[in-house]
Chains A and B, each alone.
Chain A
């Protein structure tokens, strides 16, 4: 356990855009990202005089799906309220949100705790609200001459998921967020790849001290980074005997630091009152009709039971909907036969290679992966050649070249194992020993490292194609011969 005096306490407020086709209170399309500014707008989402909100039923259904999946209690009656404040991206000068009667309360998300094992992070509430527009600053916000407003985002449905202060480290906060993202994706209500689809405000304190709110975190990695920065900053202040001030800070993504937000706009009195143009929501009866799909935890357990995946592999594979679907497609033709190799090749090798290239899984054909796993399973190529084949495929894809099949790559690069072609291996073994008399000496002197060195030399000469077991046998024989 962490020293109690240094205990970190974290709570998150997560804003997620619901992936509906139209906005929360009007018929405008939510698919605005590739279009010009102010092209997805109408009198309602522009807040023109006289326009009124009409609630998008689908958005409420999506939010309730989330509430059910996160074990929340949907309230008998919830209501929309106005949060009044002036800001140029807020066309009506109030945001329609939920205040004292949210859609749902309670619930929890289970995460893997830092000590191992599952831990429940309790949720306070889930409410529905509209996204404001977006400011584009010309130059920079302090020194720029002017700013432009784009209302395409105004009225996009958001849910705000508020957690209890139950997380004990920045790492747990990241795990909470990853788990939440996975769940929302499995529910098909959220697309984490859309820019700005998730925004987080984090409350963080060191036990016994005031809490600090960090606003404006817009990436998954940013949450952990911002919190790590805050832990260090707050602990340093305490160490120097200074007091932590209760305040709001902004996270500056580019610099990885938080900065105090001592501006007037933070001292708002939001003057909440019920939105008179919308009726109270009485939708609790819908809950029973919501059929949830298989969620990440259930799928993880199934991967262990059905495919024999290790816990870690199952966690990784089911941690993202796309990855889990990809895995199942790869092994579909022969579950029992392909799963053991496929789980490690996907969860470890493929993910690593993709991350290295900053490449999306979308670019990989499951069939190509199946082909590779089949070659490995048949013993046609070595693991080392397997990695090479994978890299060639990914690089071809990255360069928009025609992607060859694994079979074609093996043929073209002559990567097939040299099993049966013992002549080539034997020649390489002889050459390696002759070229490295020092290694032979060391071997004779009983130094274990010498054998490994020679194995490496032979591998190099056969370009990784030699079957490791066969190579070992032949090399040991050859060495023994020279000893005699």
Chain B
């Protein structure tokens, strides 16, 4: 039966930017299920800001493809979740509307950039949420908040309506408390969309299976090396031990190209962002400049005032990297590095079925702990390889360190999303 659900959460964590007090819903697989949507995904008639002041008041006249699919399966869109402005960050502190707090420990960040979605699920305000993952933005907050998050293979979920930050890296993906919920949500949002020509006709019709006997798991040395907290590494190793007990075998491996992963990632995403974010000028949407200046100066005024410091930094970096004479040195080089990373994964996947390691090198940071941008960028090292290669990766809670959740990351072959879901499900079933 279709109807309406009331949604009045006690949002102690600033997880939501917008809530819909009465959310209509239809019938279908998600009939009446409250779903939160990250604020960089367009929702018809619901304000969508990417947590940026430059989009304050912007009400999209259309639904993102994934949101349309949610509605057609009966889901109730109950609100828009907080995030790092335009997805640029690993903590959700870069929101133009205040940080989200981690429900497990409110002195800590929930991770980012889909921190609002993760917190809303972790605090039980919604059963499921949509996030987006450009360099770890679903998996990082899932790990920090102790929930499940899947970054699908590039092309399995339509990006139409996702306000682009870095087109060639990002995907919309499901977040939930259980692997089953994440799998259900994935089943609704995956598939071809003629509006996104990078999407593929690979629908996801899968029920998670816990049998992983004979599964070969690659363990890359880089995921347990320098920069990875030893306690986090120990928790994850123990979790992988559980998978072995379930009949999987582990194979040590190495991803030498990871040395260039962060550089390739930050060059690619800043270049694409500098172009994607150029359209925000206050003319067609968002607050206009109160000015009588000519268009050129008015643009400058609006953009300087409304973009946050991290967004401005990345636009500057990307603009520089794409400047005449630098394309070959930066963007083109970064794409070569991506090819090398893909080649490394292909080589490893010739021998193993999945790759496992920690999602994040540490537990959730304290608020304001990552004040210098570079140290924040370094925290993405374990998540960006999957985005650079386009492969699926899931984060599933696998224990605690210092009382905070730790995420086990499972990466799979291109379009083998079902397999990473199965491995996560096997682990989840074994420990519960």
Interface residues of A (CB under 8 A from B): 43-44, 46-55, 82, 84, 86, 88, 91-94, 149, 264, 269, 271-273, 276-279
Could you write out 7 A-B pairs with CB less than 8 Å apart?
A46-B284, A49-B50, A49-B58, A54-B194, A271-B275, A271-B323, A279-B197
List chain A residues, Cβ under 8 A from B164. 49-50, 52, 277
Q: Please tell me which one of the listed residues B61, B160, B295 contacts residue A52 in the complex, with CB atoms under 8 A apart.
A: B160
List chain B residues, Cβ under 8 A from A271. 274-275, 319, 322-324, 327
Whole-angstrom distance between the alpha carbons of A149 and B283 in the complex?
10
Are A52 and B283 in contact, CB atoms less than 8 angstroms apart?
A: no
From A46, A51, A53, name the one whose CB has the most chain B CB atoms within 10 angstroms: A51
Are A49 and B278 in contact, CB atoms less than 8 angstroms apart?
A: no
Near A by CB (< 8 A), chain B positions 150-165 give: 159-164
Which B residue's beta carbon lies closest to that of A49? B163
Is B281 engaged at the interface, CB distance under 8 Å to the other chain? yes
List chain B residues, Cβ under 8 A from A276. 167-168, 198, 272
Near A by CB (< 8 A), chain B positions 188-221 give: 194-198
List chain B residues, Cβ under 8 A from A94. 275, 278
Are A272 and B327 in contact, CB atoms less than 8 angstroms apart?
A: yes
Are A55 and B197 in contact, CB atoms less than 8 angstroms apart?
A: yes
Are B48 and A49 in contact, CB atoms less than 8 angstroms apart?
A: yes
Are A93 and B279 in contact, CB atoms less than 8 angstroms apart?
A: yes
| A-B CB proximity, top 4 nearest | A93-B278, A271-B322, A276-B167, A276-B168
Is B425 engaged at the interface, CB distance under 8 Å to the other chain? no
Are A273 and B271 in contact, CB atoms less than 8 angstroms apart?
A: yes
Is B42 engaged at the interface, CB distance under 8 Å to the other chain? yes
Whole-angstrom distance between the alpha carbons of A277 and B275 in the complex?
12
Which A residue's beta carbon lies closest to that of B320? A271
Whole-angstrom distance between the alpha carbons of A55 and B196 in the complex?
10
Q: Please tell me which one of the listed residues B55, B168, B283, B327 contacts residue A49 in the complex, with CB atoms under 8 A apart.
A: B55
Whole-angstrom distance between the alpha carbons of A248 and B274 in the complex?
27
Near A by CB (< 8 A), chain B positions 253-289 give: 271-272, 274-275, 278-281, 283-285
Are A50 and B279 in contact, CB atoms less than 8 angstroms apart?
A: no
Whole-angstrom distance between the alpha carbons of A88 and B284 in the complex?
10
Are B197 and A277 in contact, CB atoms less than 8 angstroms apart?
A: yes
Whole-angstrom distance between the alpha carbons of A55 and B198 in the complex?
11
Are B323 and A269 in contact, CB atoms less than 8 angstroms apart?
A: yes
Known pairs A49-B58, A86-B299, A264-B296; A277 contacts B331 (CB<8 A): no
Q: Knowing that A44-B195, A52-B195, A279-B198 are A-B contacts, what are 19 other residue pairs whose CB atoms are under 8 Å apart, sorted by A's residue number?
A: A49-B48, A49-B163, A50-B64, A50-B162, A52-B164, A53-B197, A54-B194, A86-B278, A86-B296, A86-B299, A88-B295, A93-B279, A93-B281, A271-B275, A271-B319, A272-B327, A276-B168, A277-B196, A278-B197
Known pairs A86-B278, A276-B167, A278-B197; A50 contacts B42 (CB<8 A): yes
Rounded to whole Å, the gap between the CB of A84 and the closest CB of chain B is 5
Near A by CB (< 8 A), chain B positions 77-121 give: none
Which B residue's beta carbon lies closest to that of A278? B197
* Residue interface mask B51-64, A partner, CB < 8 A = 1: 00001001011101
Rounded to whole Å, the gap between the CB of A142 and the closest CB of chain B is 11
From B274, B284, B285, name the one whose CB has the most chain A CB atoms within 10 angstroms: B284
List chain B residues, Cβ under 8 A from A48. 42, 60-62, 284-285
Q: Please tell me which one of the listed residues A50, A54, A269, A277 contacts residue B60 in the complex, with CB atoms under 8 A apart.
A: A50
* Residue interface mask B159-195, A partner, CB < 8 A = 1: 1111110011000000000000000000000000011
List chain B residues, Cβ under 8 A from A92. 278-279
Known pairs A49-B58, A50-B60, A50-B64; A86 contacts B194 (CB<8 A): no
Is B41 engaged at the interface, CB distance under 8 Å to the other chain? yes
Are B160 and A51 in contact, CB atoms less than 8 angstroms apart?
A: yes
List chain B residues, Cβ under 8 A from A50. 41-42, 48, 60, 64, 160-164
Which B residue's beta carbon lies closest to that of A82? B275
Are B61 and A84 in contact, CB atoms less than 8 angstroms apart?
A: no
Are A49 and B159 in contact, CB atoms less than 8 angstroms apart?
A: no
Which A residue's beta carbon lies closest to that of B272? A276
List chain A residues, Cβ under 8 A from B296. 86, 264
Whole-angstrom distance between the alpha carbons of A43 and B331 in the complex?
28
List chain B residues, Cβ under 8 A from A43. 60-62
Whole-angstrom distance between the alpha carbons of A379 and B324 in the complex?
73
